Homo-oligomer: A and B are copies of this chain.
């Protein structure tokens, strides 16, 4: 059973439509491909209390947490502090990061504001990779990724190389029926096999060529196939348009 994941997209800019979030959608795709189930995505402002509570919510449901944003050196970058608070750990300077900053500044002393870039919750580690200009920061199972989409993507991909899941198999039945006509069969099937995930998605777009799409999903293909057979036996025959 793969660990579950949850995501926090942190930043006022996303909630105020100044920036359209791309990282949430990317993370959803990447985790799906990797077979790591995602239990929630929360977009929250640059506010320590909101982030701490979102972490509490997420950590009750997921082992792996991915955050996006809020790890720069300005007043609105509070993710490190919030993660430290949620884990009840102090914020420290990571020696490797201090060393990189000193190297970057050469003879000039590193300004206090730049030194904030070396801050991390105590016990954090860095994850490097050939694609990365800046290493990714992780504290236990919390990955603190940057909000800038190019950096987020590169760091996420590097982090995911070290995490393993079980990709799910999905099959789909397209139907010409009202959802309520399918509900008795779907109810009974979902109750009989709660681990096989059954979804029912209506469309009201006549161009779609169907009225309801039923999805069946599980990591074990044979259980998906068995459920598809059951549904095809029990659903109104005339309503079934096609199976994929």
Instruction: Please list the residues of chain A having a beta carbon within 8 angstroms of any beta carbon in chain B.
Output: 12-21, 24-25, 28-29, 32, 37-46, 50, 53-54, 57, 60-61, 72-76, 111, 113-114, 116-117, 148, 150-151, 168, 170, 178-184, 186-187, 190-191, 197-205, 215, 217
A150 touches B204 (CB 8 A): yes
Residue of B nearest to A46 (CB): B199
A74 touches B16 (CB 8 A): no
Query: What residues on B are CB-neighbors of A37 within 8 Å?
Result: 16
Contact with A72, one of B15, B50, B54, B200 (Cβ below 8 angstroms) = B200
Query: What residues on B are CB-neighbors of A32 within 8 Å?
Result: 16-17
Residue of B nearest to A20 (CB): B25
| Interchain CA distance A118-B125 in the complex, whole Å | 53
Contact with A179, one of B20, B73, B178, B182 (Cβ below 8 angstroms) = B73
B28 touches A148 (CB 8 A): no
Residue of B nearest to A29 (CB): B17
A178 touches B18 (CB 8 A): no
A15 touches B43 (CB 8 A): no
Contact with A198, one of B76, B113, B117 (Cβ below 8 angstroms) = B76
| Interchain CA distance A20-B198 in the complex, whole Å | 18
Q: How far is the CB of A106 from chain B (nearest CB, A)?
A: 14
Given A57-B54, A74-B182, A74-B183, A151–B16 Cβ distance below 8 Å?
no
B15 touches A76 (CB 8 A): no
Query: What residues on B are CB-neighbors of A43 within 8 Å?
Result: 24, 40-42
A205 touches B150 (CB 8 A): yes
B61 touches A186 (CB 8 A): no
Q: How far is the CB of A160 from chain B (nearest CB, A)?
A: 14
Query: What residues on B are CB-neighbors of A168 within 8 Å?
Result: 16
Query: What residues on B are CB-neighbors of A180 within 8 Å?
Result: 73-74, 111, 113-114, 116-117
Query: What residues on B are CB-neighbors of A170 within 8 Å?
Result: 16, 18
| Interchain CA distance A70-B200 in the complex, whole Å | 10
B50 touches A39 (CB 8 A): yes
A199 touches B18 (CB 8 A): yes
Query: What residues on B are CB-neighbors of A205 within 8 Å?
Result: 150
Query: What residues on B are CB-neighbors of A186 within 8 Å?
Result: 74-75
Query: What residues on B are CB-neighbors of A184 within 8 Å?
Result: 113
Query: What residues on B are CB-neighbors of A111 within 8 Å?
Result: 180-181
14 further A-B pairs in the complex, CB-CB below 8 A; given A18-B170, A21-B25: A14-B28, A15-B28, A16-B170, A17-B28, A40-B42, A40-B43, A46-B199, A72-B179, A74-B179, A74-B186, A75-B198, A76-B199, A116-B183, A150-B204
